[in-house]
Chain A
Amino acid sequence: MSFIVLLLFVILVFVSFGSFSNRFLGARFMSGSIVTKVFAGYLIILLVAGILAFMVPVEDTIKGEYLTDKELVENDRLNSDIYQTVQSGKIDEAEGLTKKGSWDFPLDGKHLNMNIMAQNLMVFIEKDPSVEGKVEVTHYSTYSYIDNIDITKRIKSPDIELNGTTLKIFPLDPVNIKLIKYKNAFPFTQFNEDEEQFTSGYGLMQGLEFIYITVPADTEVSGGGYVIN
């Protein structure tokens, strides 16, 4: 960034020297070979910068991978249905869930103490007869957007650890996303039907983050979390 600004500044200074030559205030605009060279130099710089802008690979660059209104409506429907589905123990039937991480911890004894330090997480605990001697932890989330850009995968899983019989769920690392939205100038978007999709302000839609824990059927759970059965 600073390099570009510096480059522009140098060009400006360079051109200013040329511009305020004695010819500038003459009867016509500037003329002469220096002016031609300066303009040719400017064209070359623009050409190189233009080509570079197309070629430079940049991590995290999204090339307009925005969702349509139809997709957003469908995702919103899935987001709103999911809480009921999970709460009723039918997580296998839930649609629109993103699995972000899973952990397996060996469990000694028949007691599990939950220590939930995370504020923005819901914790569901299912007692499953098919699970024996272990705790299965899975982090799921529903769709999240900034405007209509899917950022679901950018919210990472919390740290989870089992100390003895205490399962600790640490707070989620705060995520800050700085988004630069580069819009093409209006003559380039005027005849484009997708224009509204790009410029519409959808704001932030944060999905649900939840931890789904499966424990042996005879486990006694204390300390927090919603026990499904």
Chain B
Amino acid sequence: MFLTKVSLWDVVKKQLRFKVKSYRGVFTSLMLLQIMGLLFSLGGEGGGGGGSESFSYDMNYYSGNFILVFMMIWAFISAIIVTTQAYRYDDYSFVANRLSSHLSNILFLGWASIIGGITFVLASQSLKLAFLFQADRKIIESQPMTVLQMAEGLAATILYLFLFTALGYLVGMLVQRNKVFTIILPALLFGSLFLNVFLASESTYVIDIGQIFVKETSFLLFTLKVLLTSALAYGIAAWVSNSLEVRK
């Protein structure tokens, strides 16, 4: 019998507040990876050229995709780190259970994804700014964007990052469950890539799975796919963690 009854949501809120304040390093690593992505992006994604006697042109393609890839890596690794022992032990500072711990982690990673998405938009605009000051360029062609496209793009970026946190969280929990997964998971990932190359297939399973999200042109369906996949990944992660011993 207790004097005060604490609701699950109250505990989750307390844990979330604690995590937002104490896991600041997540955002520092985000900053570092974004800067790395920006520097990589300055090299461009490709180009071409041509011409005749009186006319020539050369064209270079740039985009924020490199930055986004770095951000996805960041989201994935950050989620794995959150599942590590040291971070899980933080939750024992509260009168809490595993469910509240998972919920606060998911909310924190969601929050991190939002910050990641917003900073990504700004970072990719900064990249564009770098080209505006290039002295020898003649034309910059940039894709026009409506407010709706901007909003959809931002939301999609956040959802992609959230998806990667979910995958990272699942991988992290699997590894916490059994260290053998540190060998199995990379082996599966790289094995499928190599196997497809050896079998001379045109695509790989990993890329094929990615197409489910990347090729989706309906924003609503994309959102549903990401949220369902994330829910599944977080759900499995929570289920896996139930078999972990307390303080193990």
Contacts and interface: CB of A to CB of B under 8 A. Distances in A.
Contacts of B60: 178-181
Given A29-B28, A39-B24, A181 B153 contact: no
Contacts of B133: 1, 3-4
Nearest to A158: B54
A38 B28 contact: yes
A56 B132 contact: yes
Contacts of A56: 129, 132
Contact of B149 (A60, A178, A192): A192
Contacts of A186: 63, 65, 68, 214
Given A60-B140, A149-B141, A204 B24 contact: no
Given A188-B149, A189-B143, A172 B48 contact: no
A96 interface: no
B95 interface: no
Nearest to A182: B142
Nearest to A120: B54
A175 B139 contact: no
A192 to B, nearest CB: 6
Contacts of A183: 45, 61-63, 65, 143
Contacts of B97: none
Interface stretch (B116-124, B182-190, B193-201, B234-242): B116-124
Contacts of A61: 132, 139-142
B67 interface: yes
B132 A58 contact: yes
Interface stretch (A12-20, A78-86, A159-167, A210-218): A12-20
Contact of A204 (B51, B119, B145): B51
Contacts of A171: 54
Interface stretch (B8-16, B32-40, B99-107): B32-40
Contacts of A144: 55
Interface residues of B, number: 77
B65 A50 contact: no
A36 interface: yes
A49 B122 contact: yes
A201 interface: yes
Contacts of B55: 120, 144, 155, 174-177, 204, 206
B146 to A, nearest CB: 9
Interface string A194-211: 000010010110100000
A131 interface: no
18 contacts: A1-B133, A12-B35, A15-B31, A47-B122, A52-B129, A61-B139, A61-B141, A171-B54, A176-B138, A177-B56, A182-B62, A182-B127, A185-B64, A185-B65, A187-B68, A190-B214, A193-B217, A203-B50
Kindly list the 6 A-B residue pairs having the minimum CB-CB distance in the complex, ordered from nearest. A29-B25, A188-B153, A187-B156, A49-B126, A46-B122, A185-B64
Given A39-B31, A50-B121, A149-B141, 20 more contacts: A19-B28, A19-B32, A29-B29, A32-B24, A49-B122, A49-B125, A56-B132, A61-B132, A120-B52, A178-B58, A178-B59, A178-B137, A182-B142, A183-B45, A183-B143, A184-B145, A188-B157, A191-B152, A198-B143, A204-B51
